Structure 1
Amino acid sequence: MARESSGRGPLYRLYARRLRRRIDVAKAPHHVAMMIDGNRRWARQLGFDSAAAGHRAGAAKMREFLGWCDDLGIGVVSLYLLSADNLLKRDSKEIRDLIEIIAELADSLAEHGEWRVQHVGRADILTPELSRVLAEAQERTSGHTGLHVNLAVGYGGRNEIVDAVRSIIGKHDASGGTLEDLAEQLTPEMIGEHLYTGGQPDPDLVIRTSGEQRLSDFLLWQSAHSEFYFVEALGPDLREVDFLRAIRDFADRDRRFGR
């Protein structure tokens, strides 16, 4: 029974195929945002000495997760990997390990051949090495037309909105406009265009693992009308059937977009 629940046995594979067949691809989300949580708890429960084992397992799961999304034809996936707050609040050894793991993940995703990688977040608060790896992954994949993968690293939703407003003010000032003119012209659409994800569709579905039910400063502006789905499994334990259930649940919802 443990083998089946872990996602490796024949009954599990049969159930996953059945779920996949029942999903109406036309009703699947176009943009999925993933908040992978519980890596540290996973490592602690399994007796590892540091959280690095959990973060490494979580990164491996995210590569697998992207494959599931790609198989369903989902166009954009945003992964919340490292918040701006965590750079300041967490133990420095854990952050150093996590930075190395994220760099390895970004580099491996850039090797896929079809996926496009984009860094969303503040490059100036990252280590020079991680900032370089993320920039190179983005540059190497800029011409790819497959799954668009946003890596939220050094990211904070409130900071993103502030940066967007600063960008708008800076461009308006450079053109010689007045504050009165800007006040009249400012719209939600204008702010959206200046976010880190400018030009992309907002996330239709936000998934969070480990049973936690909060946004944690992730895509605050973009998720105004998103659907949310919370999974009890810790990040590294996420199974494809958990993902498929989330997609099935999303397809069954009546989205009102604030109406």
Structure 2
Amino acid sequence: MDGLFKNVSDFLLRVYIKKLERELMKGRMPKHIMIVADENFLNRLQEFVRWCKKFGVEELTVCVRRGEKKVETSLLNGVKVNYVIGYSGKDEIVDAVRELARLVDKGVLKAEDVDEKVVERFLKIRSSPDLIINVGDEIPEFLIWQSIYSELYFADISQFRYVDFLRCLRDYQRRERRYGR
């Protein structure tokens, strides 16, 4: 009898996923998604990139807390993927300020010419994520500067599935983006 219930629940889940996919195709999609996860997520990265590509996401930033500090960018299946490993938002801002200070010290840049646009040129990740998905229970500490107007979605689950991704997108579409206004 358990096999019958499993088959029925699998069937209902597939129907629900198809319904969600159809509904989502009608609305606006985030162009840049940031996901905060543990290093186990990297094993499923290609699968997640396929989901993003299916819905027109152009850029994905994957933030992992542990490991050697590094930021890398690559193209994976047509999606720009930024890897932020062990590198906090504070680290990024401090590095940008140091570089700006060096340029001012050398006379290449005047201190009064430093504004938001100039600072942004020295950040590791320059574009702002539209949607931040936090898988787990910790507050994201990445892309502090860029994420000021991002929509946050907390998914306190052990395994992030395709249906969970669709629910994130649905939640994003239901929100009114106000950009601090």
- Residue by residue over 1:99-154, the C-alpha shift from the partner in whole angstroms, topping out at 9 and shown as x without a partner, is 8xxxxxxxxxxxxxxxxxxxxx547xxxxxxxxxx6xx84xx5xx89210001123
Distance, in Å, in 2 between the alignment partners of 1:194 and 1:222 is: 12
Number of paired residues?
Answer: 177
1:159 aligns with 2:91: yes
Of Structure 1 and Structure 2, the greater helix share is in 1
Question: For the structure 1 residues 16 and 145, does the alpha-carbon distance in structure 2 shift closer, same or farther, using more than 3 Å as the test?
Answer: closer
2:70–2:85 contact (8 Å) kept in structure 1: yes
State the secondary structure of the residue aligned to 1:27: coil
Whole-Å Cα distance in 2 between the matches of residues 173 and 25 of structure 1?
52
From the superposition, tell whether residues 28 and 242 of structure 1 become closer, same or farther in structure 2 (CA, over 3 Å): same
Equivalent residue, structure 1, for 2:131: 205
Alignment of 1:50-129 (within 5 A): 55-56=39-40, 58-81=41-64, 83=65, 86-87=66-67, 122=70
Residue 171 of structure 1 aligns to a residue whose secondary structure is helix
1:176 Cα deviation after fit? 4.6
Tell me the distance in 1 between the aligned counterparts of 2:103 and 2:169: 40
In structure 2, stretches of 5+ residues that fail to align are none
Q: SS at 1:206's partner residue?
A: strand
Match of 2:35 in 1: 34
Q: TM-score, normalised by structure 1?
A: 0.61
More strand by share: 2
Give the deviation of 1:60 after TM superposition. Answer: 2.6
CA distance in 2, matches of 1:157, 1:170: 20
Match of 1:245 in 2: 167
Runs of 4+ aligned structure 1 residues displaced above 4 Å come to 1-5
Of 226, 242, 245, the residue aligned with 2:150 is 226
After superposition, what is the alpha-carbon deviation per residue over 1:32-56, rounded to whole angstroms, capped at 9, x for unaligned? 000114xxxxxxxxxxxxxxxxx54
TM-score normalised over the length of structure 2: 0.85
The answer to whether the 8 A contact 2:25-2:55 is kept is: no
